[in-house]
Amino acid sequence: MDLGSGQFLRFEIKDGLDTFFWHDDWLQLGKLIDITGPACPNLFGIPLNAKVADTLGNERWRARCSRSRQFPTLRAAI
């Protein structure tokens, strides 16, 4: 995220065990639950209390393919 005057912020999630998927601003876009709305955890198949580490398996994202209009944007950001 560019803060102006050449400054940047970086969010390091390491193994993802301490970072909540929906409630932490780990993509620096804001909290995903605020961006996507309360129905998205169910649409994506990712529990509301999931950690980032819970959403990955075999080096792939474990989200359900959703017809939600947020899905392509969220997937691209991740």
Q: What is the pLDDT of residues 27-48, one digit of tens each?
A: 888 899 998 888 888 888 899 9
Burial (CB count <10 Å: 0-12, 13-18, 19+), residue 10: exposed
Compute the average pLDDT of residues 20-27. 92
Residues 19 and 51 sit within 8 Å (Cβ to Cβ): yes
Domain boundaries, given as residue ranges, for the chain: 1-78
The whole-model pTM stands at 0.76
Q: Give me the pLDDT at residue 52, please.
A: 92
Which pLDDT band, with edges at 50, 70 and 90, does 6 fall under? low
Compute the average pLDDT of residues 53-65. 82
Query: How far apart, in Å, are the Cα atoms of 29 and each of 57, 58, 59?
Result: 23, 25, 23
Widest CA span in the chain: 40
Compute the average pLDDT of residues 41-70. 83
Burial (CB count <10 Å: 0-12, 13-18, 19+), residue 56: middle
